[in-house]
Amino acid sequence: MGNQAHRPPRRLILVKHGQPRIDPDAPPSTWPLSDEGRAAATALAARLDRFEPAALVSSPELKAVETAQAIAVVLGLPVSQDPDLGEQHNETGGFQDALVFEALVARMFREPHHLVLGEETGEAARRRFDAALDRQLAAHPVGTLVVVAHGRVISLWAAQVLGIDAMPLWKRLGLATALVISADRDDFEIVA
């Protein structure tokens, strides 16, 4: 039977990557973490330790991988990657001013079936991410799974699965924050 009294509750933790070093001339998927992003990821890992994470999976985008690596050092976990945990595809959209970008994101959340931002609709990104999460949860059936990903795709997924509004969640999910979700998906908290 083992020590079932100490078995940690099953949770899913969705981490938004840390602050990247932005290069307006490069695709966002290639942006590395900034020094402050790495420090914030390390600090977040210390706050996530209380959830007793059992596995750590990352989007393949550089800022997410480097966030996961910083978390892995603190939690003592290996990092694996899943290509379908990436952000809503936006490699050719060009760099946008913050206000223009926020307006595009708001429109994408309102119109997830239309191509508003980048090369993938919000709905396509959500379905891809949902399938990846299902696959990773099946591969890691015991304990808390930590997934390092991106704000838009996390918000798209959470809006559908948790029944919450995507735009306010996207705004609340700062860089290097985590959405901690209970196993039955009836309770969640944001850890910053």
Contacts of 5 (CB under 8 A, 6+ apart): none
Would you say how long the chain is, in residues? 192
Q: How far apart are the first and last CA of the chain?
A: 36
Lay out the sheet containing 11-16: strands in order across. Answer: 79-81, 53-58, 144-149, 11-16, 177-182, 188-191
**For 79-112, how does the pLDDT look when each residue is reduced to its tens digit (9 = 90+)?**
999 999 999 998 877 778 899 999 999 999 999 9
Q: Which among 16, 21, 32 has a CA at the least distance from the CA of 71?
A: 16
Which H or E element spans position 26? none
pTM of the shown model: 0.94
| Beta-ladder partners of 14 | 147, 179
Q: Which residue has the tokens 């996390």?
A: 154
**For 114-153, how does the pLDDT look when each residue is reduced to its tens digit (9 = 90+)?**
999 989 999 999 999 999 999 999 999 999 999 999 999 9
| Beta-ladder partners of 74 | none
The domain defined by 55-184 folds into Rossmann fold (3.40.50)
Residue-range domain boundaries for the chain:
55-184
Q: Which residue has the higher pLDDT, 24 or 129?
A: 129
Provide φ and ψ at 99, rounded to 5°. -70, -40
Instruction: List Cα–Cα distances, 121 to 24, 87, 90, 100, in angstroms.
Output: 22, 11, 10, 18
